[in-house]
Amino acid sequence: MTPVTAKERLRNLVDELSEQEAVDALKLFQDRSGEPMVRALDNAPIDDEPSTEEEDASARKAWEEYKRGESFSADEIKRELT
């Protein structure tokens, strides 16, 4: 069996998108290309420091909250701060 490359997996995912999901994904990719912060993060070195159990537990808790819809969009945060 031939290993599946990242590009092949990405093509498969794209093929499964609805037209609206494809529009949204394309916008996301296009928006990212001009953002200086995104470029800086893309070029930042990988964090290879091990995490603590406390950090892992906090990340798990935050992910569960996010999946339950207990999060804020960037727009909501911006409105709160301005």
Per residue in 28-70, pLDDT tens? Answer: 877 766 778 777 877 889 888 999 999 999 999 999 999 999 9
Averaged pLDDT, 13-23? 92
Mean pLDDT, to the nearest integer, of 8-14?
Answer: 91
1 falls in which pLDDT band (50, 70, 90)? Answer: low
| Tally of CA atoms within 13 A in the half-sphere of 27 that contains its CB | 6
**Are the CB atoms for 27 and 33 separated by under 8 Å?**
no
Q: What is the pLDDT of residue 52?
A: 95
Alpha helices by DSSP H, the chain: 6-16, 19-33, 36-43, 53-67, 74-81
Provide the pLDDT for residue 3.
66
Report CA torsion sign: 58, 25, 17, 74. positive
Question: Which single residue is written with the structure tokens 């727009």?
Answer: 75
